[in-house]
Structure formats: structure tokens, C-alpha cells
Structure 1
Amino acid sequence: MLKPANPRFSSGPCAKRPGFSLAGLESALLGRSHRAGDAKSRLAEVITRSRAILGMPADYRLGIVPASDTGAVEMALWSLLGPRGVDVLAWESFSAEWAHDIEAELKLPDVRLLRADYGKLPELSAVDPARDCVFVWNGTTSGVRLTDGDWISDGRQGLTICDATSAAFAMELPWPKLDVVTWSWQKVLGGEAAHGMLALSPRAVARLEAHKPAWPLPKIFRLTKGGKLIEGIFKGDTINTPSMLCVEDALDGLRWAEGIGGLKGLIARTEGNLATIAGWVAQSDWARFLAEVPATRSCTSVCLRIVAPWFTALDHAAQAKAAARLSAILEAEGVALDAASYRDAPPGLRIWCGATVEQADVAALLPWLDQAFARVTAEFSA
């Protein structure tokens, strides 16, 4: 059988763009201060190109922040929450982490957790527009995504804080509904890790300038000084030292995205990958999407559950062992690296199908899934 030309299906860091070469990074400003004019210009270019591709409103700020998407989300939570009650939507691992931090670390007194099991979305109509709301757009570990922002009130009094790390550049985001949006470089555009992006609406900026948190803020979380937004953060003057090699890599990915048609081209590639897997799942006698409602199936982090009777009859520990064996076979064959489900998710597979993944590689992988599962079946159901 034909093998994928690129077997990298990791959900983060994700596959580099097609045709990527280290030669494309030779212009990186290595050994230069990130505060030098040329370096700040490159950082500002990442911001400008990202804004344009994503169609971000002109009055939103966008900045580069430390510690990947996690750093961007934590910066928003610790800097903005407190004045209102908070609704937290949790339907996978990372959204559950944000809920834990809000409840156990910030110790906010008025927190409502709207939870759903893997494969489902919480009851979105229960969100109170008078409260702040924290949520992911795409469940990276559950393969379940939001379909729209219609459930978010245009007349809301609270802020909406959206972790969009596995959605940005692959899905349409309803910007007027979102007050804070975060993502990282290492997802849909296949950039290198450790850098996050933080987008703020005018409403979020107003909150930052009016609200002083009751807890201390470390330097890397501080977005204001003297009660005013630190505008330099959103012009390339980063809080801490960025990697200029990673900056050059991010620009490489952004230029590639522009060359394939911008956001529309990125979405088309990603949705095409999902459609390829959906056609296979429809014929499979052992695999199903973890997302229960077709419209909520993620087109990036595609999560599959195993429905073969011998597998479902096993206890959880045995299921985890069988699923681990399945991903190990795929890796040993060199057809899918890092395709195991997330450790907290139901045992199965997670196949990254973001824009940097070629549809031909997804198609080439599918027969190998069947062959690997047949081997696992022989080993575990004997």
C-alpha cells in the first residue's frame, strides 16, 4: 500500500507547510536584539499578516505573548476576570484546565461550570450574557467544535474569552462576538512552539484599563501600566524575548497561507481533509467520530472512537492498552506519527487534519488504519 509522504499527524506541534525547508529561514535575524528596529519590524509583520488573513476588525489589538496559547489564555484570565461572575464551558481537557485555574487558583467566588462529556457540547443557551464567558472554539482533545457564535448575545455585558488555538486559520471566527481570542503558532500553520497570540476587542481593552485585579500579576502577564494599555505589545514590542528564528518561521507560514488564497484557501484544505476521513468513517465497521453531531466535527483535530464489539466489551484500562497498540503499529509502519488520542480522552485516535496536511496523505493513511486495526483485533480478541 502507498504510504503517506508525510506521516506527521500530530495535533501540536503540527506538520510544517508543504515544501517547507530550513533554507527558507536563512533570513532570520539571529544574534540580534528583538528590540532592534529590524527585529521589531519582523514581529510587527507577524501581527499585520495575521490580522489580514484572519479578517480581524481594525479596532482589535493583536499582540505576541509568551508561553504559547497557554500563556495567552492565562494572561487573559488573570488580567481580566473578577468584576463579574464567570461561565466556563468545558467539553474537553484544555477547557477543563481553564475551569480549574479559575476556580482553584484565582478562587473566584462566582463561577458556573457548564460541562459536557467528550463528543458533546454544553448547553449553550444556558450562558448568561451578564457574565463573563470562557470557552474553546475547537476542542483539540475531543474533536468537537462550535458551529457559530449565534449563542453569544450582541448586547452582552460580560466579556467572551475564546481559546481558538486549533481553530484560528482553519475555521471562520465571528470576531464581533469575541472579546478575547488566543492561539499559538504551532497549530494550523505549523509554526514553532512557545509563542502565543492575544487579540483584544475594544471592550476587553476597556476592562483592562478599568479593572485592577485583586491578586498580584507577574511581569509576563501585565498588559497595562498606570491604568493604560501597553500599546507597544501590540506593535511588536514583546513582553519578553522571542525567538527570532521562530518569528521567521511564523512569517514563512503566513506567506504560504497568503499564497494559497488566505483564510478561504486554508479552510478549504482543512475541510477537504475532514471530508476524506468522513468518507472512510461512513464505510468503517470499527471507527466513528467522537463528535456525536456531524456539524460539530472538528476539521483540524479529528478524533475517532472505536466501536468494534470486542473493544467496547473491554474495561477502560484494556481499551487504553489496545488503542495504544494501534497507534504504536501506525508509528512503527511509518504511516502516522503521534496519532494516539489525548491521555484524558476516550481511547481511540486523533488525526491532525489542519491546513499544512496534504489531502493525499490523509487518503493514503486510511487503508493503514484498517490494516493496523485488524492486527490489534487479532492480538486482543483472541
Structure 2
Amino acid sequence: MLERLGDINWKLLIVLVLVSAVVAYVGDVLGMRIGKKRISIFGLRPRYTSSIVTAVTGVFITLATLAILSTTTDTVRTALFSLKFVQRQITELTSQLQENQQEMQALELRLFENQAELAAKRQELARVERRLAESEESLRTLQEQLESSLAAKSAAEARRQELEREVHRLEAQRTELQEDIETLRKGLEQIRAGRIIVLAGEIIAQLPLPQGSDGIAAEEAVRSLRERAVVVIRRRLPEGSEEMTVEIGEDSLRQVLDRIGAGGSPLRMVLRLVASSNAVLGERVQTKVEALESTRIYEAGTVLLVREIQGGLTLDAAEAKLYEILAEVNGKATADGVLRDPLRGTVGNLAAAEFFDAVEKIASSKGTLELVVTAAETTFTEGPVQVELEVRSPEEKTAVQ
């Protein structure tokens, strides 16, 4: 209530009251004066004239009130002159307000529906995000598996290529073996039909090449090897047989000459002429040249082995014991660097007469004997080791000491 009193335009009310009072007072004074003076308007009686003045004064009061209100208040002016227009506007605005209220209700309903749909979409989004996270994890796992598979594939491809190379190598080896089998078969047929003069892998001849020898000296040494080989093979031929030609492989000869070089070899070398395959009577002897470094292994007189032997053995037992000791010397010489004979596997030579003299001395002696094996001459890497046997009795052993 107090708030409504505060909203009233008290100044306007006071002005209206004062104006009304002034106009009423002026009209009353004017009516009294007209009545006293008995003024008549339009031929009316003074009493009626006074009433008309009073009525006109009331009219002026009303007009003055309206004029003041219209001048000072837009609301009153609008109510007086535009009331129907305002009413129409109010009706239209009310209709629009109802429509807007209905539309707002519809929007609120749609908002509620949209909120529910939004909540559902959010839940769906959360599910999609979870599925996306699971998919990303699965994708990472699949990528790792793919990388692992690619690595395994690369390894498998490398293994396949390696196996293919191995298959090619085995096929080439099989072809080579088939060729070797065919060669051996032909060689066997030749063996059955003829006589083998040279065996595959046999050292036909060998010749030392001094330190510093150059390519020219090497070529001269190869020619000497060929000549020696011809002499060795000629000795094996039956009487009346034609000489067998010795051929040296060009590849092996070129490798040897390249190894020695124009400047000469810094080491002592030994050249070997080795048979590449079996050679039957009447065939050409296929050979290859090998160049090996040669160093001094034993000086002449070097004691290779000393063993005690019990005298009084039988000839067979004494011979077997000597073979056993010589085999031991063979192993020692091999360990010291002497090359074995490719066919016999031995490294030394011993005169047969010396061997049997030692056997007889062991068989005929009593007590413990001492067998001394020494190098008969200076021995190099290519060998062979020429050995000497010395059987000492106890008396000879004491005299030596």
C-alpha cells in the first residue's frame, strides 16, 4: 500500500486542486457580482444568468483540468484522444502475448524434450567415446601386431631368400656332384679298361723357391716342375708306352704368379705340382700349381724323439714297435708344421735298410735299449723329414753321456 502511495503524482493532484479552487472561487465571485448587478445575458433573468455563469465556470474547471492533465501527462492525453487505438493495441498485444505464451510453452516443451534428447545424446556420446577409446586401444594392439607381423614377414622373407640361396647352392652342388660322379664313373671305366698312372691329389713334383724370387723365377720353376713331373710319370709307364702330356691349370698358375708378384716373394716358398684327377695310361695328366710358404722346421741332426725299448723282442714285435715310434714322430713333425703327403698322410722318409737294421738290433739285444730318431738333413715346411734311427745299448748310452 505504501509503495502505491509513493507512485502517485502528488504535485499534479495539488496543482489540479488549486486550479479547481481558483476557478471555482473566480466563478463564484463572478456569479455573485453578476447577481448583484442583476446582469442579464441573452435576455434571461439574472437568476438564470447566474446559474449559466456557474455552469460555465464548472465547464471551465473541467476544461482547465483536462488541459492541464493533457499538457502534463501523456497517459491522460492518450486516454482522452487515443483510447480506442490504445484499446485495439492492448487487444492485439494481448493476443500476441497469448500467442507468445503458447509459443513459449511449446518452446519450453521442446526445450524439455531437447534436454531429454541432449541427455540421451550425451549418454550416447559417452558410449561412443568409450567405444572410440576401446577402438583406439584395439588399433594400437593391431598396429603392434601388424608391426610384429611385418617384422616376422621380413624375417620369413629373409629366411626364404636364404633358403632359396641354399637351394640354389645345393642344386649347384648336386650338379657338381653329378658331374663328379660321372667323372668318377668314366674314371672307373677307364680303370677297368686301363692302368692308373697318377692319382688325384698326388704331389707329382715340388720345388723350393728362394726368398725374393720374382715372377720370372716362378715361371722358370713351374717349367722345371713340369719337366720333373714328366720324368716321374715316364718312370711309371710300361715299356713301349707313349709319354703322357702334363697340363697345368691356367687359373692355378695365374694365382701363383699373382701371389709372388713382380717384386718377388718376401718369404721362402715351395711350389707343388698336384694332380687334379686320376690319370689312366694314355691320358693327359691334369695338374694344378700350389704355392705354400716354407720355413725351416728342423736343422740337420735335430733329435726328434728318444724312446726306451726292451731288447730281445721278436722281429714282428720289434717291427711293430718301430712303426709305432715312427707314427709318433710323424705326428710330432706335423704338429711342428711339416705338411703331410695328401695321399699317404705321412711327412717323413726312412731308408728300408736302416729300418730293418734297427729291427734286427732290437731283436738281438738284451736289456733296455734307447732309440734316438734324428733329422738327417735340414727340413722345411714342405718336407719330407729324412730321419735316421740309432739304437743304443746300455754301454753305448753310457759312453755317449
TM-score under structure 1 length normalisation: 0.22
Higher helix content, 1 or 2 = 2
Q: Structure 2 length normalisation: TM-score?
A: 0.21
Q: Which has the higher contact order (CA 8 A, sep 6+)?
A: 1
